Amino acid sequence: MLRLVPDWLLYIVVIAVVVFVLFKVDQRSNAPEALPDATQSGAFLPPASAYDPEILVEVGPQSSGLGTAFAVTPDGWWVTARHVVDACTRVGIIVSRGAAAPVRQVRVAEFADLALLKTDRAPAPLAIEAAESNLQVGQRAFHVGFPQGRPGEAYSRLIGRENLIARGRYDVNEPVLTWAELGRTSGLGGSLAGMSGGPAFDASGQVIGVTIAESARRGRLYTASPTTILRMLRVEQIHAQGTRAPPFTTDNYGNESDALRRALAVAQVVCVTDDTPS
């Protein structure tokens, strides 16, 4: 049985009406302009290179708020974004209205915007596809999480690779996958803040990335690559043991995303910092 975090921990976050933002992308960076829809569509994604375009992000000060995580082992390991949890006093995985499972450990990747969370168990871990050689320019991804603090999802097409340079609360330089947003949950406008740490699925239902940043002006989403995710798991000696989700299409991705959240394969993360009033 999961031991629950007291209700006051969630109450603090709700009363403050604080929601995590994804990394703020510096629009002055030399990211390339969007490719036309037909450009290189179907070509296999080339390997990461030091010569890939760069995108600069700013990691602001940590504050209490919400993010997204997904389970990767039945014994309670979850993946999320580093900037969601790296400076929190207390972290929990929300398991029902008004209750959260306490996170026993937080392990951050020093080389990427990724982190691992440990709870007592996880009911529905997900499979990760590590074969980046199978990725094709133009293919779809389905991003699941809690944008703006509530359930929501988006879908996108793969443009290519970039090098994400993070500066601020910590410094990271990592290769990421760049996606052009094509659609999202009906009625969801504005930023996708709160989706940080959520999984990006391919059409077959396997995780192929972790959503870590957005450029709202350019309609871009950035995900940690499968190779980077697997590198973090290897460093921490954690063996992912999940199963793939059902297939995603542009017609069913809303319903399938809801099912993943109900099963707690994808869950909301709550962070409380010392500067939160008690």
Domain presence at residue 87: yes
> CA 57 to CA 128: how far, in whole Å?
26
Domain presence at residue 164: yes
End-to-end Cα separation, the chain, in angstroms: 28
Domain presence at residue 277: no
Domain presence at residue 1: no
> What number of residues does the chain have?
278
Domain presence at residue 2: no
CATH of the domain at 105: 2.40.10.120
184-238 pLDDT, tens digit each = 988 888 899 899 999 999 999 999 999 999 998 889 999 999 999 999 999 999 9
Q: How confident is the model at residue 4 (pLDDT cuts 50, 70, 90)?
A: very low
Residue 24: closest CA among 161, 165, 123, 208: 165
Domain presence at residue 197: yes
Residue 150, amino acid? R
Domain presence at residue 278: no
161-192 pLDDT, tens digit each = 999 999 988 899 999 999 999 999 888 888 99
Domain span at residue 247 reads: 7-272
Instruction: Specify the number of domains making up the chain.
Output: 1
Buried b (16+ CB within 10 A) or exposed e, 33-44: eebeeeeeeeee
Domain presence at residue 222: yes
pTM above 0.75? Answer: yes
Q: How confident is the model at residue 63 (pLDDT cuts 50, 70, 90)?
A: confident
